[in-house]
Amino acid sequence: MKTSHLFAAANCAAFCIASAAFMTSCSSRIQKEDLCGIWIQPVPGSHIVQGVELNADGSARSVNMATLLYDSWKLEKESLILHGLSIGNGVSGEFSDTLGIVKLTPDSLSLQKGSLVLEYFRSIEDCGFSANPGTVLKGRITFGPEVRKFRPDNEDKDYWVIDKSGYLQERYNESGAAEWSADAELEVRQTDSSASEFGSEYAGTLQVLRIISCGD
42, pLDDT greater than 90: no
Q: How far apart are the first and last CA of the chain?
A: 36
Hey, which bits of 23-179 come out as E strands? Answer: 37-42, 49-54, 60-63, 68-76, 79-88, 91-104, 108-113, 116-123, 135-144, 147-152, 159-162
Measured CA to CA, the distance from residue 41 to residue 120 in angstroms comes to 5
| Residue pLDDT, tens place only, 5-36 | 444 333 333 333 333 333 444 335 889 999 99
What proportions of the chain, in percent to the nearest 5, are helix, strand and coil? 10, 50, 40
| Residue pLDDT, tens place only, 55-113 | 999 999 988 777 888 999 999 989 999 999 988 666 678 999 999 999 999 888 999 99
| Residue pLDDT, tens place only, 142-181 | 999 889 999 999 999 999 998 877 788 888 988 999 999 9
